[in-house]
């Protein structure tokens, strides 16, 4: 088994060497380098397009999905080897999407065969980009209070209502959306719908953020017709699907706490502040904070690896993604606080060319959202208290 894995590792390395364009082996410079795919996506370069195509052809945009749905059919151990070899060569992730990290797992678990065959290969090839219609103006942390209605019209639903904070809704092709199909029950009256954002009656309005970008929208539904076969799972059982998907979303967001590409925090701080006579970072307070951060960061990396192994083996507690999400996002916020502290006033530059148009400051502000998106830190702590520590309700 170990021999087979080593053979596989060599094959993967050779294949990556031969097929990953050199431009795709450099760290991403900004969000603009992320390949999201979709009908409206404009590739940043030919190399980016080529990298997506060769990886999708091999099924390696979603290495552990079954081959019949566009995946690579790799075992968890093989998928891990691929990830390690890509990291060793500095290969960029060829495709990032909510289809891969959120909807795909839910489709694999709850989809009909027709739904899987229709949607999964298009996600794997980066042809269709999905957005997530969960939150509403009066339903965020208390998501089950959602009010967007889906009225039963025989062969279809008529959807009316509003979502908010819908990331990239103005660029997405399809939405996975929570709607109310029964007003007599809270969780038990929710269904999980899939529909095209080009359907008549769907409109979006981008929301401008403090960071200067506009990554999410208000999304409005005005008599949108959705065929009944586009319900994922059973009617009125959407809460079960929604929670399953949230586990995968939280797992994905927790990854932000992982070690970033490029120089480590210590290397960056040394470059900015220099060394004292003993060769240490020339700022004792920051040195202590960075040392503590590095310890926590290594501990989190070790815990993440164990978590992923157990997840792939189907052996995690259902509330464990909340633990990972809480710690990973708080860690990522700390990392950017320290980067700003080490960078001094230069790091606050907002528009100059030398600062990469405020790359550090904008990234720092963006991390503030990490502990809100996918459920706030307070909500994760409530889940951990209730479901893992089994504490009584406060």
216 or 239: CB nearest ligand FAD: 216
Q: Are 268 and 342 in contact (CB under 8 A)?
A: yes
By CB under 6 A, is residue 31 in contact with ligand FAD? no
Q: Are strands 130-133 and 174-180 parallel, antiparallel or unpaired?
A: parallel
Residues binding ligand FAD: what is the number (CB under 6 A)? 20
With CA atoms as reference, report the closest residue to 20 among 93, 127, 125, 97: 93
C-beta of 217: minimal distance to ligand FAD in Å? 9
Which of residues 256 and 265 has its CB atom nearest to ligand FAD in the complex?
256
* Measured distance CA(264)–CA(294) in Å, rounded: 9
CB neighbour list of residue 12: distance below 8 Å, 6 or more residues apart: 81, 82, 85
User: What are the backbone angles phi and psi of residue 109, rounded to the nearest 5°?
Assistant: -85, -40
Q: Is 249 a catalytic residue?
A: yes
Out of 78, 249, 251, 373, pick the active-site residue.
249
Sole window of 80-88, 164-172, 235-243, 264-272 interacting with ligand FAD (rule: CB under 6 A): 164-172
Site string for ligand FAD, 74-113 (x = CB under 6 A): ----------------------------------------
Spatial contact of 179 and 191, defined as CB atoms under 8 Å apart:
yes
Provide CB contacts within 8 A for 311, sequence distance 6+: 251
Binding mask of the shown chain, residues 189 to 218, with x at each position contacting ligand FAD by CB under 6 A: ---------------------------x--
- Does 236 help bind ligand FAD (rule: CB under 6 A)? no
Query: What tokens appear for 165 in the block?
Result: 């904070």
Determine if 166 is a binding residue for ligand FAD (CB under 6 A). Answer: yes
Q: Does 372 sit near ligand FAD (CB under 6 A)?
A: yes
Measuring CA to CA, how many Å separate 4 from each of 219, 263, 308? Answer: 49, 34, 21
Contact positions toward ligand FAD, by CB under 6 A? Answer: 131-135, 140-141, 163, 165-167, 216, 369, 372-373, 375-376, 378-379, 382
Active site residues: 249
């Amino acid at each position: 088994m170990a021999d087979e894995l080593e053979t596989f590792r060599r094959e993967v390395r050779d294949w990556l060497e031969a097929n990953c364009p050199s431009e795709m082996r450099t760290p991403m410079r900004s969000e603009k380098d992320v390949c999201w795919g979709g009908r409206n996506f404009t590739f940043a370069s030919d190399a980016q397009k080529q990298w997506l195509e060769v990886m999708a052809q091999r099924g390696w945009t979603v290495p552990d999905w079954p081959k019949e749905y566009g995946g690579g059919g790799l075992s968890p151990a093989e998928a891990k080897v691929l990830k390690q070899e890509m990291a060793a060569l500095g290969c960029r992730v060829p495709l990032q999407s909510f289809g891969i990290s959120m909807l795909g797992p839910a489709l694999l678990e709850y989809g009909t065969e027709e739904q899987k065959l229709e949607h999964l290969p298009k996600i794997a090839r980066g042809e269709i980009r999905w957005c997530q219609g969960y939150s509403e103006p009066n339903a965020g942390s208390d998501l089950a209070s959602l009010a967007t209605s889906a009225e039963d019209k025989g062969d279809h639903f008529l959807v009316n209502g509003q979502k908010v904070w819908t990331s990239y809704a103005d660029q997405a092709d399809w939405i996975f959306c929570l709607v109310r199909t029964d007003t007599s029950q809270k969780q038990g009256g929710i269904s999980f719908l899939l529909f095209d954002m080009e359907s008549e009656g769907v409109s979006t309005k981008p929301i401008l953020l403090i960071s200067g970008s506009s990554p999410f929208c208000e999304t409005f539904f005005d008599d949108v017709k959705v065929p009944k076969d586009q319900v994922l799972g059973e009617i009125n059982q959407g809460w079960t699907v929604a929670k399953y998907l949230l586990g995968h979303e939280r797992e994905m967001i927790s990854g932000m706490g992982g070690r970033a590409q490029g120089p480590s925090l210590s290397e960056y701080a040394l470059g900015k502040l220099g060394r004292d006579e003993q060769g240490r970072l020339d700022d004792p307070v920051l040195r202590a904070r960075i040392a503590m951060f590095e310890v926590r960061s290594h501990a989190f990396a070790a815990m993440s690896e164990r978590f992923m192994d157990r997840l792939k083996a189907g052996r995690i507690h259902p509330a464990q993604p909340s633990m990972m999400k809480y710690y990973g996002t708080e860690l990522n916020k700390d990392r950017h606080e320290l980067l700003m502290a080490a960078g001094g006033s230069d790091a606050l530059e907002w528009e100059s060319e030398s600062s990469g148009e405020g790359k550090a400051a904008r990234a720092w502000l963006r991390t503030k959202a990490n502990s809100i998106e996918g459920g706030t830190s307070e909500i994760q702590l409530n889940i951990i208290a209730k479901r893992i520590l089994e504490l009584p309700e406060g």
